[in-house]
Amino acid sequence: MTNPEEATITVKANGSLQVKGATVIGADGVVISTEEAVFLCRCGQSQNKPFCDGAHRAAGFEDSGCHAPTGS
């Protein structure tokens, strides 16, 4: 299992969420990825959810990826 303190999620401008150092577990509890880095869909158009397949480009998804920090 990955140390959560090492995991990072990067919001990509006009695209996906890049997740590094984390295990992706489905709603049924089954591990669906242990890759060092994965890209998760933010636009909702991927045919391979939860993973990004680049569909955001054709869908015209736009988001700068810059957001105000949340309280911790």
What would the pLDDT profile of 29-67 be if each residue is shown by its tens digit?
Answer: 999 999 999 999 999 999 999 999 999 999 999 999 999
| Residue 72 scores a pLDDT above 80 | no
Instruction: Report the pLDDT value the prediction gives residue 3, as an integer from 0 to 100.
Output: 57
Please confirm whether the linkage preceding 4 is cis (ω < 30° from 0): no
Conformation bin of residue 19: beta by default, left when phi > 0, alpha when psi is -120 to 50 = beta
